[in-house]
A and B are shown apart, each in its own frame.
Chain A
Amino acid sequence: MDHLKALDREDMRALYRFLWLTRALEERLEIIFKQGHVVGGLYRSLGQEATAVGCGYALTAGDWIAPSIRDLGALLARGLDPRDVLRQYTARGTSLCAGKDNTNHFTVPELGILGPISPLGTQLCVLNGVALSFRTRRDPHVCLTFQGDGASRTGTSHEGLAMAAALNLPIVVVLEHNRWAFGTPSTAVAAVAKWADVAGAYGVPAVTVDGNDVLQVYDAATQAIARARAGDGMTILVAETYRMLGHAQHDAQKYVPEDELDEWRDHDPIQSFAEYLIEFGFESASTLKRIRSEVVARLDAATDEVLAEGYPPAEEARTRVFADPALDADVPWTRGPVPGYEGLAWGSRARPTTHPEGD
C-alpha cells in the first residue's frame, strides 16, 4: 500500500493518538455537559474521527484547514490545544473566541484554521480567498475544507465549488457523506446516488474513500493535496462514513434505524485502526493502552485547569466590533444615564439654558 512508504511507526502512533484524543476529548465534553459546565449545545463526531484526523494529518505547516462541526480531529492533528476546545464549549474568557462565539467557530491564523459559521457552505467561499492569496503570492500552500452531505446542498457551497474550480484554486474539498443532516437522511433531500458524481458539475476530479479507514483517508488526502500544491486545482474527496450520534447532545436520534447503527458500529474507525496496528506489528495492545491512559491523564489536567477559569467580564460584550476601540458599542444611550441629560427632568419641555457640552 502507498501509505506504508510515506508513514513510519511514529506517524502511525500519532494517528492513533489523535483518533483517541478526539474521542476522549468529546467524551470529556459530554461529561462536563452533563455536569452543566458546557454553555449551549454539544456536537460530536463519533464514528467520523478517521476522516478528520486523516485529512488534518496530511497537511503541512502553513496550509489552511476549514473544519465543519464534526472535524475536531482535524484541528487536533493540526496542533490545536485540547484546552482551547474545552474553553470554547465552556465560554471561558480565555477561549479563542474570548467567549463571543461557541463550538469550533474560531479562526487561528498561526495554525491555519478558518472556523465555520452556522450558515453552512459560507466557509468554503471564504477559504477560496485564502487559497486565492496563496495563488497570488506564488505561495505553495494549500487549503482543505470539509462539508457534510447536508451542507453541500447550500447555495454558497455550489458558488464556492464553482469559483474554486473556475479559478483553479489550490483546494481540497472533503465531502463527508455521513448520511444525516440534523434529522433528515441525505437520501430524502439529495437525488444523488453516487456522491463522487457531483464533481462532474464543476469539472474537477473526485475520489471516494472509506471515511472510517484513517490510512485510506490519509492516502487520498495526501494525493489530492499534492495535486493542489502542484497547481492542478481542486479535488473533491468523498468520505463514506456515518454519524453515530444525533445532531447534537439534545438529539437522541430516534429516527435512525438501529440496524444501520449496528452495521456501522462494527466498522468503528478507532477500533479497526487499533486492530490493524496490532495485526501488522506496529504496536502492541499494551502500548495502545498506555497511549490511551496518557491522553486521559492529559485531559484530566486540562479539564481541571479550564473549569477553574471564568466567563469573560460582562462589559467585554461591547468591545471588538471594529478595529478602533473608539467605535466600541455606545452603551450609555441604551442603558442610562444619558450623556448630557443626567440632571434633566424628563417630561419637562424647557430648553436647558446651558448644555454640559458648553454649547
Chain B
Amino acid sequence: MENGGTVETTYLGAIREALQEEMRADESVFMLGEDIGAYGGAFKVTDGFLDEFGPDRIIDTPISEAAIVGAAIGAAHMGLKPVAEMQFIDFIAPAFDMIVNFAAKSRYRTGIGAGLVIRGPCGAGARSGPFHSQSVESYFANVPGLKMIAPARAYDAKGLLRAAIRDPDPVLFFEHKFLYRRIKEQLPVDEEVFVPLGKARTHREGTDLTIVTYGAMLYKSTEAADRIQVEDGAEIEVVDLRTLRPLDTRAIVESVKRTGRLLIVHEAPRFGGFAGEITAQVCEEAFEWLDAPIRRVTAIDTPVPYAPTLEDYYLPGEDDIVAAARWLLAY
C-alpha cells in the first residue's frame, strides 16, 4: 500500500526488490541456485524472475552447493556479479570448501578477487528441525576474506543486499526466514535504498545498558528493552550490528563507553559464537569503562530441535534477555 512516497514492503519483498533493481541496472548481475527459475525459489524470492531476466541470468542448477559456489567464483573472476542462492543456509555446508578455501583466499593468494554474494534463509522459529533452522555465521567467522551480513529490518535487507552485490569481495548474506513475511515496513518509493557494509545502527537509544544483537533477535531485544523501561525505568540502548564482518567494533565500544554495561544477544549457539568475539574486543578496548561483567544470551549448545516445546526452550526468549539485563543493571 502506497503512503506518502512509501510503500509497505515485507522483508522478503525488500530482498526481491534489491535483486530486481540490481539486475535491471546491471546486466552482469545474475543468479544461480536450486529451483530459482520456473519454481521461483523455495520461499518465492525469485518468483517471476525467469520470465523477466531469462535463463541466462536465472540459472537452475543441480543440487550441488559446491558447484554452485564454484561457478559463482569463476563467473566473478570474469567480471560477472553472481548471486548464489542456498535454498536453506544449512545447505551451505557442502560448499564450505569452496567458500573458505577458494573464495575467501582468492584475492590474498592471487590478487584476483571473487566478488560474489551467497544468500539464503537462516534461523529458527519456523518449526523446521535441525537442517532448516541453523544460524551458520560462526562457522565462517574465523575465515579472513569473507564479509557477512545479517539484516533485521526490511530497509537494511534491501540496502545491504544492493551493497553486497556491488561489493568486490565475497559476501555471505543471511536472511532470517522467520522475518520473511512477518516484518513489514514502509520503504521509500522514489529514493534509493542503499546501506553501506560494515556499519552498525543504534536501533534504540539508552544510557544504562547496551544490548548488541542482530537478525531476528533485534525484535526480542527491543521488546525486552521496552518492558524494562516500563517496569524498571532503566534505559537500554539496542545496537543492531547489521554487518557481522567487518564488525563495527567502534560502534559497540562507543555505546559501551556511554552505558558501562554490555549484553550480547544472538540466536546462534553460545560456544564460539559472535558474542565471545565481541566480548574479547570490548575487554581489549573498553575494559575500564565496564561497570559489570559482559553477559551473553544465546541459543543453547545443541542442534536446533524440532518439537515446539524443544525449539522454544532452545531459542533465546524475551524473558531470558530481561533477566540478564536486570542482573547487569543491578550489578
Contacts and interface: CB of A to CB of B under 8 A. Distances in A.
Interface of A: 96-98, 100-101, 105-107, 109, 114-115, 117-119, 122, 124-133, 135-136, 155-156, 159-160, 162-163, 166-167, 320-323, 327, 329, 333, 338, 340, 344, 349-352, 355, 359
A238 to B, nearest CB: 22
Interface in B50-74: 56-57, 59, 61-62, 64, 66-74
Contacts of A351: 288-289
Given A109-B112, A119-B97, A162 B106 contact: no
B30 A98 contact: no
Given A129-B74, A160-B70, A117 B62 contact: no
Interface stretch (B78-86, B157-165, B205-213, B221-229): B78-86
B118 to A, nearest CB: 13
Contact of B288 (A106, A162, A350): A350
Interface in B22-75: 30, 56-57, 59, 61-62, 64, 66-75
B313 interface: no
For the side of the interface on B, what is the size category? 35 or more
A129 B75 CA distance: 4
Contacts of B109: 97, 100-101, 105, 115, 117
Given A130-B77, A322-B169, A125 B61 contact: no
7 contacts: A114-B74, A125-B70, A162-B62, A322-B107, A323-B115, A329-B144, A349-B288
B104 to A, nearest CB: 9
Given A129-B74, A162-B67, A351-B288, A122 B108 contact: no
A287 B13 CA distance: 71
A125 B56 CA distance: 18
B6 interface: no
Nearest to B170: A322
A144 to B, nearest CB: 14
Given A109-B77, A159-B62, A323 B71 contact: no
A211 B70 CA distance: 28
Nearest to B103: A126
B76 A129 contact: yes
A119 B101 contact: yes
Interface of B: 30, 56-57, 59, 61-62, 64, 66-80, 82, 94, 97-98, 101-102, 105-113, 115, 144-145, 147, 168-169, 246, 254, 257, 284-285, 288-289
Contacts of B145: 321-322
Contacts of B75: 129-130, 132-133, 136
Nearest to A329: B144
B110 A323 contact: no
Nearest to B76: A129
B169 A129 contact: no
Contact of A107 (B71, B80, B110): B110
Contacts of B115: 323
A122 B101 contact: yes
Contacts of A344: 288
B110 A156 contact: no
Contact of A321 (B101, B108, B110): B108
Nearest to B260: A351
Contacts of B106: 107
A133 B74 contact: yes
Nearest to A323: B168
Contact of B144 (A115, A167, A321): A321
A106 B94 CA distance: 25
A322 B105 CA distance: 9
Given A125-B70, A322-B169, 18 more contacts: A100-B108, A107-B111, A117-B109, A125-B69, A125-B73, A125-B98, A127-B74, A128-B70, A129-B70, A129-B78, A129-B80, A130-B77, A132-B59, A133-B75, A156-B70, A162-B62, A320-B107, A322-B147
A124 B69 CA distance: 12
Contacts of A359: 254, 257
B67 A128 contact: yes
Nearest to A128: B71
A126 B110 contact: no
Given A133-B79, A156-B66, A323-B169, A126 B73 contact: yes
Nearest to A127: B74
